[in-house]
Every structure is written in structure tokens, then in C-alpha cells.
Amino acid sequence: MALVLFFDSDCGFCSKSVRRLYQLDHGGAFEFAPLQGVLASKLGLLKYAEKKGGSMVILRESDAVMFTKGDAWILVGETLGGIWAALASCFSLFPKHARDWAYDLVANHRYLIAGKSTHCALPDEGLKKRMRK
């Protein structure tokens, strides 16, 4: 089952998070695509890159289900397994509105946390193979 994680490629925090997830994803479950890219545009996902209310989006290709905000965090943890699955399990105990509030808190301050990128940091070869346009 391919999971495509769409992220705000203009956001330093988001790009660093993708690099970290790539390092943790030993099973290669995730592929990555910028929210400002061609595939995201075709799927109508550009709105998720907005400064206010921005969100990563995960597309589960097997059934075309999309996950956003707190639900996306949970799916990432469950997919990675181990301690990440345990953390996701704890996070899932909170009501959806509380999970999404926590996500929004980080998302709305992501440019303050890591800045806005004026250039794209080049990914290593392994990550390049898992990037979609």
C-alpha cells in the first residue's frame, strides 16, 4: 500500500520533517510530494499549503482515502511502528478536535519555528527516488 505524503515545500519545518520521516521509514512505506507540485495540483490540494490552516496530507493510494492534520500524524506513527505506533495510539485517545487543534498550533507557527525557504534543499539520492512531482 503506497502512502503519499504531501507537504509544504516552502516551509523549512515541513521539509525537515520529511527528511526525518524518510530516515525513520525503513520499510519505504511513504513517498513524498510537494503541495506546490503537479500531482497535488491535479488532486486539488494546494489549499493545504496555505500559511493559515496549512496541513500535510497523506493519500492512501489503495483506496484513495486522504488523511489530514491529527489523523495524518496518527497514520504516520502507526505506519512507522514501534515507539511511534505507541505514541500514535496515545494521541488517538484525544478527540479529533483536540488533535487537530494541536496540529493547527504547530502548523500556524511553522514559519516562525523554521522559517520559509526561498530555495529547495536538495534531497539525497534515496529520498529523490521516493519523491513525486
Residue 47 lies in a domain: yes
Per-residue model confidence (pLDDT) at position 8: 81
Q: What values do phi and psi take at 122, rounded to 5? A: -75, 130
Q: How many CA atoms lie within 13 A of 108 on its CB side?
A: 8
Identity of residue 63: D
Per the domain annotation, does 82 fall within a domain?
Answer: yes
Residue 50 makes CB contacts below 8 A (sequence gap 6+) with none
Beta bridge partners of 58: 5, 67
Q: Which amino acid is at 55?
A: S
Residue 127 lies in a domain: no
pTM: 0.80
Answer whether residue 132 is part of any domain.
no
Query: Using CA of residue 112, residue 12, residue 32, residue 45, what is the dihedral sign?
Result: positive
Instruction: Please name the residue that has the C-alpha cell 487543534.
Output: 101
Query: What share of the chain in percent tops pLDDT 70?
Result: 82
Sheet bearing 65-68, strands edge to edge = 30-34, 3-7, 57-60, 65-68
Number of domains making up the chain: 1
Does residue 102 sit within a domain? Answer: yes
**47-61 confidence digits (pLDDT tens):** 887 766 567 788 898
**Residue 126: inside a domain, yes or no?**
no
For residue 84, tell me if it sits in a domain. yes
- 104-128 tens-digit pLDDT: 887 777 666 655 555 555 566 677 6
Containing domain of residue 70, as a range? Answer: 3-119
Cβ atoms 1, 65 nearer than 8 A: no
Q: Looking at the domain assignment, is residue 130 inside a domain?
A: no
